[in-house]
């Protein structure tokens, strides 16, 4: 009975267990490979071997590692951005007035269009070094994640429950302590979920941005994307198959090793008084729990974080009577300054472009935007016709629903541009109209959001309503239009909205595709931006991006938001 008084968490195990050994070996391997990969970054661009991509499959693991590392770097940058931008917007009312609308617009800007500007900027910063090109690529991925994450963080910070804040005030927590002990934990589940969701877009961007051609600058960064790029140039279909295989493995590993455990972990920060259905713990998390070494390290890190979080920085939050008058005057001054800056910016933009672009250019771009809009809308309709019935059918069968959701989520994360060559080969071979058939590529990656959400909606269809349906003998047309479609509509809208945004973005990659020396162009805003990027025509890229952002924002405001509100008000269960 004496042994019994030993605390359980310092379990007496003299021998390190097998998991420890494996973990340490894995960590060392990881460290060495990261070091090798990053050393390359500092080399000058014109080194003989720097831009050579081998199509030999043996090189693929290395390329995959590079691609993954870029992803991590971007994720890290997005996190830092989120903690700065979102916190500033949530804490300062004045900053909020400016930052949130800006974020709203940034979210709608086609990410691929950024490339022109970032390449020029970063190549200027680190002229002649690969680091510049790397940073440009990383920045592109960053733009596909950061806005989303920042929004989620901002919303969480704004909705911290009032009673929790009061508790923090009662205990006299300082601003810093309150931030780390209350606000950040509260924001974590949403942040991680959004991180995972925006990751899907990230893979698409990274594959695209590894082969950058901006005007005369032609950069190839070693990675899966550039591997595919070279394979396309050399018309090598086998190599593309290899790349798809490698990508599958990378995404699978990302999902299993990073996001499944992270999401399971973040569940403990959820603010729910009722215990939700316990989901099964991911195997990797179980492994971590079993490995004493990792437990020991995390405990150490935890303690360190607690110490930092406990630093009595900042003021204690005392209730202050707000000085209404002075804030109002300062508001006016602030808004005035912003307006002045805005006017100056407009004048500046006008003077710098009025020699470069004519009014006809603008009209032409609007026409192209309309063409692409037509493509996006028809593709959404096509995907809906296919996936709504399929999704409902699958969603109502619990066994299928789970599997479909996993597959759809995976497919959504998979960079669809790796599949583009197959379509292009088909179009070239059968001599099809690229104006019509390239359109399919736009929805290739984003259709899965529709399926995913419809399945989710159908599987959430309540059991008692199912029984009513049976009891009243509802079937046929009545079943589809009065029961199932309204039931999944709120979910469908969420999916279609995401798919639509993704399709706009993908249009830049889809409306201009090549296979060897053959280049296919579909007339539209996407190909306009893509061609301008190749030519390095900054003004045209800028114009195209502004037009596309305007189309996206208008479409959201006029179509999706009203539909979304209607669905929430009337159709949600």
Partner 1 sequence: MKLNENQETLLQIKNCQKSYKKDNSSELVVLDNVNLTLKKGEIVGLLGRSGSGKSTLLRIIAGLTPPSKGKVTWKNQLLSGPAKGIAMVFQSFALFPWLTVQDNVQLGLEAKNTPHDQMEKLSEEAIDLIGLGGYEKAYPKELSGGMRQRVGLARALVVHPDLLLMDEPFSALDVLTAENLRTDLIELWVEKKLPVKSILIVTHSIEEAVLMCDRLLIFSTNPGTIAHELKVTFPHPRNREDPAFRQFVDRIYILMTHRNPIKVDPNNIDIEQTLTNNYVALPKMSMNLMIGMMETLYAEPYCGRADLPQLAKSLQMELDDLLPIGETLQLLEFADMAEGDIILTELGKKLVNSELDVRKDIFMKSLIKNIPLIRSIRSILDERTNHRASAERFRDELTDNMSPNAARQTLSTIIGWVRYAELFDFDEESEQFFLDEDDKKIEKD
Task: Among 357, 474, 531, 563, indicate the residue that binds partner 1 (CB under 8 A).
Answer: 474
Q: How far apart are CA 547 and CA 525, in angstroms?
A: 8
Among 279, 321, 471, 517, binds partner 1 (CB under 8 A): 471
- x/- mask, partner 1, residues 11-40, rule CB under 8 A, reads xxx---------------------------
Stretch that binds partner 1, among 91-99, 283-291, 317-325, 511-519 (CB under 8 A): 283-291
Q: Which of 56, 272, 279, 464 binds partner 1 (CB under 8 A)?
A: 464
CB atoms within 10 A of CB 403: 12
Please say whether the beta carbons of 413 and 255 come within 8 A.
Answer: yes
- Of 221 and 488, which CB lies nearer to partner 1 in the complex structure? 488
C-beta neighbour count of 543 within 10 angstroms: 22
- The owner of tokens 């979210």 is 107
If one asks whether residue 8 binds partner 1 (CB under 8 A), the answer comes out as yes
Residue numbers 403-462 binding partner 1 by CB under 8 A = 462
Cβ-based neighbour number of residue 194 at 10 Å: 22
Examine residue 297 and tell whether it contacts partner 1 (CB under 8 A).
no
516 forms part of the interface with partner 1 (CB under 8 A): no
Lookup result for tokens 């159908």: 458
Return the DSSP state at 211. Answer: E
Q: Does 475 engage in binding with partner 1 (CB under 8 A)?
A: yes
511 DSSP 8-state letter: S
Contact between 273 and partner 1 by CB under 8 A: the answer reads no
Q: Which of these ranges, 390-398, 433-441, 474-482, 545-553, lies near partner 1 under the rule CB under 8 A?
A: 474-482
Separation CA 235–CA 212 (nearest Å): 19
**By the rule CB under 8 A, 572 interacts with partner 1:** yes
No. of helices (H) and no. of strands (E), the chain:
26, 4
* DSSP helix/strand/coil, 214: strand
Burial of 136 (0-12, 13-18, 19+ CB in 10 A): buried
272 binds partner 1 (CB under 8 A): no
The piece of 1-9, 48-56, 237-245, 385-393 that touches partner 1 (CB under 8 A) is 1-9
Residue whose CB is less far from partner 1, 300 or 566: 566
Sign of CA dihedral 309, 310, 315, 318: positive
Q: Which is nearer to partner 1, 491 or 555 (CB)?
A: 491
Q: Which is nearer to partner 1, 289 or 523 (CB)?
A: 289
Tell me the number of residues near partner 1 by CB under 8 A: 37
What span, in angstroms and rounded, lies between the C-alpha atoms of 543 and 531?
Answer: 13
Provide the 8-state DSSP code for 179: I
Rounded CA-CA distance 54/60 in Å is 9
Applying CB under 8 A, which part among 2-10, 62-70, 94-102, 389-397 lies near partner 1? 2-10
The residues, ordered by sequence, that sit 6+ positions from 254 with a Cβ below 8 Å of its Cβ are 68, 71, 199
Q: Does 322 bind partner 1 (CB under 8 A)?
A: no
Region from 112-120, 300-308, 361-369, 464-472 binding partner 1, contact rule CB under 8 A: 464-472
Note whether 298 binds partner 1 by CB under 8 A: no
Which range touches partner 1 (CB under 8 A), out of 8-16, 19-27, 124-132, 248-256?
8-16
- Subset of 56-115 contacting partner 1 (CB under 8 A): none
Q: How far is CA 505 from CA 101, 200, 373, 427, 495, in A?
A: 20, 13, 12, 22, 16
From candidates 478, 554, 557, 558, binder to partner 1 by CB under 8 A: 478
- Choose between 3 and 429: whose C-beta lies nearer to partner 1: 3
d(CA 403, CA 388): 17
Q: Does 565 bind partner 1 (CB under 8 A)?
A: no
Phi then psi for residue 174, to 5 deg, are -80, 170
Residues of this chain that interact with partner 1 (CB under 8 A) are 1, 3-9, 11-13, 268, 278, 281, 286, 289-290, 462, 464-465, 467-468, 470-475, 478, 482-483, 486-487, 570-573
């Amino acid at each position: 009975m004496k042994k019994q008084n030993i605390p359980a968490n310092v379990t007496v195990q003299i021998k390190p267990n097998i998991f420890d050994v494996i973990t340490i070996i894995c960590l060392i391997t990881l460290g060495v490979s990261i070091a090798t990969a990053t050393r390359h970054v500092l080399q000058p661009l014109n080194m003989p071997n720097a831009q050579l991509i081998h199509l030999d499959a043996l090189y693929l693991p290395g390329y995959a590692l590079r691609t993954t590392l870029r992803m991590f770097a971007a994720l890290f940058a997005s996190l830092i951005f989120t903690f700065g931008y979102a916190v500033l917007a949530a804490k300062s009312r004045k900053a909020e007035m400016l930052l949130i609308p800006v974020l709203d617009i940034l979210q709608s800007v086609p990410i691929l269009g950024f490339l022109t500007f970032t390449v020029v900027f970063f190549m200027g910063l680190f002229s002649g070094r690969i680091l510049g090109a790397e940073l440009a690529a990383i920045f592109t991925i960053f733009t596909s994640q950061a806005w989303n994450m920042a929004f989620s963080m901002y919303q969480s910070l704004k909705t911290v429950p009032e009673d929790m804040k009061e508790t923090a005030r009662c205990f006299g927590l300082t601003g810093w302590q309150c931030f780390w002990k209350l606000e950040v934990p509260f924001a974590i589940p949403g942040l991680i979920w959004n991180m995972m969701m925006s990751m899907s877009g990230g893979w698409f961007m990274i594959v695209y941005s590894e082969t950058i051609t901006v005007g005369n600058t032609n950069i190839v960064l070693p990675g899966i994307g550039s591997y595919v790029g070279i394979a396309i140039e050399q018309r090598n279909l086998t190599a593309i198959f290899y790349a798809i295989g490698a990508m599958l493995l990378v995404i699978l590993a990302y999902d299993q090793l990073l996001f499944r455990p992270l999401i399971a972990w973040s569940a403990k920060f959820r603010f729910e008084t009722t215990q939700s259905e316990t989901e099964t713990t991911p195997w990797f998390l179980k492994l971590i729990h079993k490995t004493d070494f990792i437990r020991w390290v995390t405990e150490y890190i935890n303690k360190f974080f607690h110490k930092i979080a406990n630093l009595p920085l900042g003021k204690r939050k005392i209730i202050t009577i707000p000085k209404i008058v002075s804030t109002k005057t300062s508001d006016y001054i602030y808004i005035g300054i912003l307006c002045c800056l805005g006017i100056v910016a407009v004048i500046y933009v006008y003077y710098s472009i009025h020699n470069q672009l004519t009014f006809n250019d603008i009209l032409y771009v609007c026409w192209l935007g309309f063409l692409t809009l037509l493509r996006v809308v028809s593709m959404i309709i096509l995907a809906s016709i296919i996936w709504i019935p399929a999704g409902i059918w699958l969603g109502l069968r619990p066994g299928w629903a789970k599997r479909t959701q996993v597959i759809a989520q995976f497919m959504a994360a998979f960079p669809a541009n790796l599949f583009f060559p197959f379509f292009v080969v088909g179009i070239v071979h059968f001599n099809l109209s690229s104006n019509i058939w390239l359109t399919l590529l736009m929805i290739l990656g984003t259709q899965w959001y529709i399926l995913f959400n419809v399945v989710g909606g159908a599987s959430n269809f309540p059991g008692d309503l199912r029984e009513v349906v049976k009891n009243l003998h509802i079937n046929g047309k009545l079943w589809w239009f009065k029961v199932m479609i309204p039931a999944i509509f709120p979910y469908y809208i969420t999916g279609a909205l995401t798919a639509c945004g993704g399709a706009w973005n993908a249009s830049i990659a889809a409306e201009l595709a090549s296979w060897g020396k053959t280049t296919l162009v579909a007339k539209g805003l996407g190909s306009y931006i893509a061609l301008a990027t190749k030519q390095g025509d900054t003004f045209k890229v800028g114009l195209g991006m502004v037009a596309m952002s305007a189309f996206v924002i208008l479409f959201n405001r006029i179509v999706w938001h009203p539909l979304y509100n209607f669905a929430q008000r009337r159709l949600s269960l």
